[in-house]
A and B are shown apart, each in its own frame.
Chain A
Amino acid sequence: MKIREIATKNLWLENPVFVQILGICSTLAVTNNLRNTLVMTVGVCFVTALSNATVSAFRSLIPRKVRMMVQVLVISFYVILVDLVLRAYLPEVSKALGPYVGLIITNCIIMGRAEAFAQANPPLISFWDGLTSGLGYMLVLVTIAFVRELLGFGSLMGFKILPASFVPWTIMVVPASAFFVLACFIWIARTVQLRKKGGGK
């Protein structure tokens, strides 16, 4: 039961992006292209899940005073793995993402989960918590990327979807639109959540 509870919490009720407002830093910049966003968020899922499991496995060995530093090092280790794999197998995407892969290290979701969950729970369940947090993050970013790429370029994953008569919205390509689309997403999600709360009473 706990497994399901964690999943619904991380994916919807306490979604890291639209409820806790964490970790939007590094990835908004790549959301004008669906493929890059997918690769990036898969990387984030991988890092959150494994670093959570690792931090949890060593939790009794790490002195409290240096735990932040140890967490950062564990996270950087996994991010380096992601970076090397991307460079070897998806060089184009790696180039497009540029420094944003490295910036997964400072993604607050990962530190936040390590600090809030992995410190106090066994490895397997921490792995699950990290994975679902990553998926919750993916859910939001992929939606944003879908809207931005569709309206900004008229394509999805690089394939033309909309007819040639469609006039691309230039605003969707520039950084500012990421804020607007995310704000709309938050608006809708929160309204639904508020309504549910009101209905339950």
Chain B
Amino acid sequence: MMIPQINPFLLLIASIFTSNVLLSYFLGMCSFISISKDLKSSNGLGMAVTLVMTITTAANWILEKYVIQRWDLSYLRYILYIIMIAAVVQMLEMIIDRVSPALYISLGIFLPLITVNCAILGVALFMQLRNYSLIQSVLYGFGSGLGWWLAIVLLAVIRKRTENAPIPSGLKGVGITLITIGLMAMAFMGFVGMLPVQ
């Protein structure tokens, strides 16, 4: 397969706005909904997701190119990807713990959660499916992380406002959050005309 001719920086912008992993691909919804109750944790989780996503996309790209394609192991792809993600998360946890205990306190608790965040695996699978080059993949991973971060912080702020609003009891909590996300997704759809990339 050919590598698509897309400017990597365009891809970066596109993955933040027009094809936001959360709002148009529904990835990482579970933690998105449960964590966005609190702005501070949302910020921490967003940062952790961005960091992990950038590194794992690069790591999985190398894995794909030099292990999976060389020995024709495509049927083991899912297992290998998830092991790679778990390993990267584990290593990051240890490194951050050593280097900066302060950062570990704000970021560390979110790291184990991230292994099972669908956004991380999803971005890796999209990267493989669309056959991006290494630079494209890294910027795509980084941009998707930023997009996720942006979305969760925005939602956390909106949720704070809706907390005290008079909402029908059946719709309180998750119901109204989903409607908010839907409206956000529509707002982000407005960016589509800006860029010629999917």
Q: List residues of chain A with CB under 8 Å of any chain B CB.
A: 18, 21-29, 68-69, 72-73, 76-77, 79-80, 83-84, 98-99, 102-103, 105-108, 111, 174-180, 182-183, 186-191, 194
The 9 A-B pairs of least Cβ separation, nearest first, read A179-B182, A191-B170, A99-B125, A183-B178, A176-B185, A106-B118, A190-B170, A25-B29, A25-B118
A190 touches B78 (CB 8 A): no
B interface: dominant SS: helix
Contacts of B119 in A (CB 8 A): 25
B26, A28: Cβ atoms under 8 Å?
yes
In the complex, which residues of chain A have a beta carbon less than 8 angstroms from the beta carbon of B183? 176
The main secondary structure of chain A at its interface with chain B is helix
The answer for the CA separation of A26 and B119 in the assembled complex, in Å, is 9
A80, A99, A108, A178 — most chain B CB neighbours (10 Å): A99
Chain B residues with Cβ under 8 A from A22's Cβ?
30
Contact of A187 with B168 at beta-carbon distance under 8 Å, contacts A99-B129, A102-B78 already known: yes
A84 contacts B170, C-beta separation under 8 Å:
no
Q: Is the CB of B78 within 8 A of A80?
A: yes
Q: Which residues of chain A come closer than 8 Å to B115, judged between CB atoms?
A: 68, 72
Greatest chain A CB density within 10 A among B77, B178, B179 is at B178
Q: Which residues of B contact A29 (CB under 8 A)?
A: 25-26
Chain A: CB-nearest residue to B77: A102
Q: Kindly state whether residue B79 has any CB partner on chain A within 8 Å.
A: yes
Interface string of B15-39 (1 = CB under 8 A from A): 0000000011111111001100000
Given A174-B189, A190-B170; 7 other pairs, CB 8 A cutoff: A24-B30, A25-B119, A26-B122, A68-B115, A73-B83, A84-B75, A99-B125
How long is the Cα–Cα vector from A91 to B77 in the complex, in angstroms? 18
CB-based contact A103/B171 at 8 Å? no
Query: Shortest distance in angstroms between B61's beta carbon and chain A's nearest beta carbon?
Result: 15
* Chain A CB within 8 A of B134 CB: no
A102 touches B121 (CB 8 A): yes
Q: Which residues of B are found within 8 Å of A84, using beta-carbon distances? A: 75
